[in-house]
Amino acid sequence: MNPSAPAQAPLEGFGNDPWWLIGGKAVVVFAFLVVTVLLTMWIERRVIGRMQLRVGPNRAGPFGLLQGLADGVKLALKEDIVPRQVDKVVFVLAPVMSAVPAFISFAIIPFGPNVSIFGHETALQLTDLPVAVLLVLAMSSLGIYGVVLAGWSSMSPYSLLGGLRSSAQMISYEIAMGLSFVAVFMFAGSMSTSEIVAAQHDKWFVILLLPSFIVYVITMMGESNRIPFDLPEGEGELVGGFHTEYSSLKFAMFFLAEYINLATLSALATTLFLGGWRAPFPISTVWAGANSGWWPILWFLAKVFLFIFFFIWLRGTLPRVRYDQLMKLGWKVLMPFSLGWILLVATIRALRNDGYDMRQIVVYAAVAAAVVLLATVVWEMIRGGEDEKEIVPGAAEPGGGPDPSAGGFPVPPMDAPHYHGRGAKPAGASIATPPEEVTSGTH
């Protein structure tokens, strides 16, 4: 680490604050998340309304600012319907298991540097750990249990399928997300969020580790269960997905968990790749006090809400992908790419530690990446030509008419008792009706 970097609170300093200061930080984090959810709902409705050439909420409060609060009151006053034959204990606990981990994840996010609060020097962060980033991954995995148990306890096939989709999606994208963090850990030398921010005092990791950042952006969309990866809630095929049978406050907790995860993923991206609470390049160079005092909170919030706007922009722009495309992207693209990128970063770090010229290393790495990319494109072109030669289900066979069993559809055999012809069946004829009866109009 550069010795000119500003001093950062050591990990041992967390947890030694007075009880009232720790409790106040926890209350501030909770209030911040609740207010962020309300603002995100309003921003999302206004932005998507503008993108779709409509007004958006404009009745509850000035410019519709109180629309989210009105929705919360409406959900609290609605009838709480519990279907029959559900596992009531699991049915009630599932929304809690989704919402609580979402709040816990934000505890390790640094809002700013050390400040003085009523005479006590403390960091603008609730807590920190040597493995703080892994806590976010653990809480994200734990939150999936709420989704899976909600689908299982609802005794509904649509809810169960939504829960299973969510678990498969989490496995696919949680691994790729964890792999995208490895390069950050290599450069920062720590998994602590405060030390990762301190390691970006001269250059943000989004510049040094752009491929890791791209992988994280894709995986965080898969983790948030939002368009284009909102398959666990696919209205077109699963009605409402895992929360189909939920109403009132239980549904509100799922809603709250989704938007808190949105804020947490945006804050984590800001912390790991965008310098955390540090001011952007032009401001940090012309203003010496931009990264001290309470001003860093402003830079942190600006980056977080820019990420949230990015989420909203994608929702209003992209369509929902197919489930097979979702799984293929996670297992066949993101994971192999992340593993190859980690090997490349580790090799570059090892060569630099041995005293090799970094410019030469970068050139060799660029050539290797170009060769791999070219080989991938050629391979996809060859496979694409082979795929076009595959027989489409129901298409004409080389030796004659269409294959009725193509695609695995349950088609009865052509030599059924009431049909003795060869080749294609006459139009309008059914398996149970002889062709002569069809032509004569008798049954």
The residue type found at 261 is N
Overall average pLDDT of the 256-284 stretch: 87
For residue 276, pLDDT over 60 is answered with yes
Whether residue 336 is preceded by a cis peptide bond, meaning omega within 30 degrees of 0, is no
pTM for this prediction: 0.76
**Residue 123 β-bridge partners:** 114
Q: What is the pLDDT of residue 423?
A: 47
User: Residue 302: its pLDDT value, please?
Assistant: 92
pLDDT at 274 over 50: yes
Q: Which two tokens stand for residue 315?
A: 């929702």
Query: Mean pLDDT across the chain, nearest whole number?
Result: 78
Residues 6+ apart with CB under 8 A from 69: 38, 60, 61
41-45 long-range contacts (CB < 8 A, ≥24 apart) are: 41/67, 41/68, 41/71, 41/259, 42/67, 42/68, 43/305, 43/308, 43/309, 43/312, 44/312, 44/315
Distance from C-alpha of 86 to C-alpha of 245, rounded to nearest angstrom: 10
Is the pLDDT reported for residue 441 higher than 60? no
Give the CA dihedral 185, 190, 192, 194, nearest 10 degrees.
-100
Q: Is a pLDDT exceeding 70 seen at residue 436?
A: no
**Other Cβ atoms closer than 10 A to 78:** 13
Between CA 257 and CA 268 the distance in angstroms is 16
Indicate the pLDDT class of residue 402, thresholds 50, 70 and 90.
Answer: low
Q: pLDDT class for 71, splitting at 50, 70, 90?
A: confident
